[in-house]
Amino acid sequence: MTNITTFDPQKRYILFSIFVLAADGEPHELDALLDTGAPATEFSDEALQYIGLLNETKQNVQLKPGLQTQKYGKIVLPQVEICSHPINNLEVYVSHFEKSWGIKALIGLDFFRQFRTTIDYKAGHLVTEPF
């Protein structure tokens, strides 16, 4: 099934909403960024703790100069919906995110390798369809 996810082409990055099923079974909407240079998907430790999928965040994580995230663990998300595609048991990195970045997830190539993906900047459409 082909899905179209909209984004604002006037913004510096491709930003869109995703949904994560929390520990209590409730879906939570999170702001995500498409990062075609990231090999793997990352989720903010703060967001994962807030929705009940992470017991505690590491308080001593330091961002390396020039980076806005710092990976420090992995977690399996029971269910996540990205670009209207439901995915069960997605393994993602747990990361400390720079707060000024304003996102809760960074969607990497591990997700997009599962789909034929077209980015139409003029229309502000991210088109995904399974192979």
Which pLDDT belongs to residue 96? 85
Q: Where are the beta strands (DSSP E) in 1-131?
A: 3-6, 15-21, 27-34, 42-44, 69-82, 85-97, 105-107, 115-120, 125-130
Q: How far is CA 58 from CA 64, 71, 74, 116, 117, in A?
A: 15, 11, 13, 36, 35
Global model pTM greater than 0.75: yes
101-114 confidence digits (pLDDT tens): 789 999 999 998 99
Phi, psi of 24, deg, nearest 5: -85, 5
Which pLDDT belongs to residue 68? 67
Which pLDDT belongs to residue 23? 84
Mean pLDDT by 10 residues, the chain (131 residues): 94 95 92 92 94 84 66 92 94 87 91 93 95 86
71-93 confidence digits (pLDDT tens): 888 999 999 999 999 999 999 99
- The top-level CATH class assigned to 17-23+30-130 is mainly beta
How do the domains of the chain map onto residue ranges?
17-23+30-130
Contacts of 77 (CB under 8 A, 6+ apart): 20, 21, 43, 53, 89, 90, 91, 92
